[in-house]
A and B are shown apart, each in its own frame.
Chain A
């Protein structure tokens, strides 16, 4: 199975900050990568797929980049509603589809 590793596992940031989360795959996955946002007690929500395609309705302050093994999720101007846990997921090779361990963005 392809292993997905996110960094950092958590960090603190302030509203208005530009933040970047990194995801690394244990082998090349082309651009077959998705990002999800999960708030406490809620279901995950799809933000980005194909590494950089924004899901309908997702604010443009979210962006994704990368291909092969290294990917990033960037929030250009952090809003209060963006404090959450973010997961990357590969869908290049299956089964299994695999997720990163998550990155928690907390309020500084």
Chain B
């Protein structure tokens, strides 16, 4: 069974930093591309960042570029999101989501999602 479990969320002051983790199990993590997607309270879904299976290709949304860093450790079956210079508008539930590219051969279909971790940026 595919499982994605996020952790690391919490309350942080504006300008602060936080590192999110996503532990993957039930599939060959090193073969799959991964994403972070966020959802502000009461709002819709916003794609945040993408990383290829090897980590060699990375994309960011303009709203987080230069502040967030996505990474992965295939030996530990883990995905990470380092978030710096946090702003109030970064307050959201952050989901890690698996890209189905290895199955569909098309990038961007998110077939499994974690339960999310809440990040609150407030003084």
Q: Is the CB of A44 within 8 A of B113?
A: yes
Residue of B whose beta carbon sits closest to that of A95: B59
Chain A window 53-64, contacts with chain B (Cβ cutoff 8 Å), 1 for yes, 0 for no: 001000000000
Q: Is the CB of A43 within 8 A of B45?
A: no
Chain B residues within 8 Å of chain A by Cβ, number: 26
CB of A94 to closest CB in B, whole Å: 6
A-contacting residues of B (Cβ < 8 Å)? 35, 37, 44-47, 50, 59-62, 95, 97, 100, 104, 106-116
Chain A window 83-105, contacts with chain B (Cβ cutoff 8 Å), 1 for yes, 0 for no: 00001011100111111111000
CB of B117 to closest CB in A, whole Å: 11
B-contacting residues of A (Cβ < 8 Å)? 32, 34, 36, 38, 42-46, 49-50, 55, 87, 89-91, 94-102
Q: Which 5 A-B pairs have the closest CB atoms?
A: A91-B108, A43-B113, A95-B59, A99-B45, A97-B47
Q: Is the CB of A95 within 8 A of B44?
A: no
- Please give, as numbers and ranges, the residues of chain B lying within 8 Å of A38 by CB-CB distance: 45
